[in-house]
Amino acid sequence: MRNLRLPGMAEATRLTREGRLGEAMALIQRAVRGGPAAETHAEPHAEPGARPGPVRLPPPDAAPPAGPAHRFKPADFKPADFMPADLQETLREALREVGRKVGPLFEGVTEPAPRPRPDSEPGRFLDLSFANAEGQRAYKLYVPSGYDGRPVPLVLMLHGCTQNPDDFAAGTGMNGVAEAETFLVAYPAQTAAANHARCWNWFVTADQRRDQGEAALIAGIARAVMAEYAVDAARVYVAGLSAGGAAAANLAAAYPDLFAAVGIHSGLCAGAAHDLPSALRAMRQGGEGGAPLRDPLPTIVFHGDQDGTVHPRNGEAIIAATGATPLREEAGVSSGGRAWRRSILADRRGRPAHEHWVVEGSGHAWSGGTAAGSYTDPQGPDAAREMWRFFREHPKPRR
């Protein structure tokens, strides 16, 4: 097998560090495809000691099929198989910078593959599937060992981009809370066919509305679990991280009759965007959903004040959409050393109904999560436990 040297990697690294991402990515793509390195609008620069390593070519049976010219697709690009270490690191650095700028739509592109869930909880973690007129989605369901057929609460957990149910369960620790408190947890799984990065399509109008698209699929999963297990219909909740948090906000707005309360971590308010450009603007600047929610559910928000992916102003916008009024402020320091602020707010009748947590020094990550999953900040206050405590305090009013 012959060795190839890819030119221009030191130059691509330099361009990335200067923030010239378009030029850097074009240079990397040309190197991968075997084309010549293009000139950049700067003096040539070589980093001392930079030596591209060998590239291992794919075997003949990995070649594209005969017929129309094969076009490069992200799925064809497997750095570990075809790239030297220096090219891999240059690409990772460029994509990290892209990720910081465009947020959850590209989350995890440079992160390691999610680690499998350790079988640490004594309950059952079931692989299930749901389908309706809007499509099909797999989901996982955690059934705690204490479930005995009597009605229990149900929490739906919506993962972020590039995550999956196993990764999200491991990182948040919600199954451990469910085991201790005896409630069911359902983790719907987004597909790469629906979104290449496995983001919930929170910014697509057709997926935001009641009885349409992904909103209908996720609500259908909740109802399927309620039909199969003894679930207290007054204690069904939805929570999510990032794109999953924004999807949870859409669900809470579309199905106030189904859910009793909502938890939104590093997410955006319902209706914050209607397409990709408006999604990127909302993530960068903070999005508003328009008119206040007609029938807002009790809402708990977590957001890191150093979140460079989804601006912390989005947490404020989520609370503003509820029409809440401040009651009191609290502050403290987590066991991991993160300072936090908690605002407790009243609903339109003056009752404590909403909480807004700001975690100082935390970025785009689930607060208090574990290193067993991606996008977690183990130093922060435990968002899983605090969300469950909030949910427990807010069942749906009996009619």
| Residues sharing a CB contact under 8 Å with residue 263, sequence separation 6 or more, in sequence order | 237, 238, 239, 240, 245, 248, 299, 300, 301, 302, 383, 387, 390, 391
Cα distances (Å, whole numbers) of residue 209 to 135, 148, 199, 204: 15, 35, 17, 9
pLDDT tens-place values along the chain, 399 residues long: 333 344 555 666 565 555 555 565 566 556 545 544 443 333 333 233 333 333 333 333 333 333 333 333 334 444 444 445 555 555 545 444 444 444 444 444 334 444 444 456 789 999 999 999 999 999 999 999 999 999 999 999 999 999 999 999 999 999 999 999 999 999 999 999 999 999 999 999 999 999 999 999 999 999 999 999 999 999 999 999 999 999 999 999 999 999 999 999 999 999 999 999 999 999 998 877 655 777 899 999 999 999 999 999 999 999 999 999 999 999 999 999 999 999 999 998 889 999 999 999 999 999 999 999 999 999 999 999 999 999 999 999 876
Query: What pTM was estimated for this model as a whole?
Result: 0.72
pLDDT score for 253: 95
Give buried/exposed letters for 54-90 (b at 16+ CB in 10 A, else e). ebeeeeeeeeeeeeeeeeeeeeeeeeeebbbebbbeb
344: its two tokens: 């407790």
Instruction: Take residue 21 and report the two structure tokens written for it.
Output: 């991402």
Instruction: Look at residue 293 in the predicted model and tell me its pLDDT.
Output: 76
Q: Give the pLDDT score at 399.
A: 65
Say which amino acid occupies 291.
A
Predicted confidence at residue 357, as pLDDT, reads 98
3-state per-residue secondary structure call for the chain? CCCCCCCCHHHHHHHHHCCCHHHHHHHHHHHHHCCCCCCCCCCCCCCCCCCCCCCCCCCHHHCCCCCCCCCCCHHHCCHHHHCCHHHHHHHHHHHHHHHHHHHHHHCCCCCCCCCCCCCCCCCEEEEEEEEECCEEEEEEEEECCCCCCCCEEEEEEECCCCCCHHHHHHHHCHHHHHHHHCCEEEEECCCCCCCCCCCCCCCCHHHCCCCCHHHHHHHHHHHHHHHHCCEEEEEEEEEEECHHHHHHHHHHHHCCCCCCEEEEECCCCCCCCCCHHHHHHHHHHCCCCCCCCCCCCCEEEEEECCCCCCCCHHHHHHHHHCCCEEEEEEEEECCCCCEEEEEEEECCCCCEEEEEEEECCCCCCEECCCCCCCCEECCCCCHHHHHHHHHHHCCCCCC
d(CA 236, CA 226): 9
* Alpha carbon distance 396, 7 (integer Å): 62
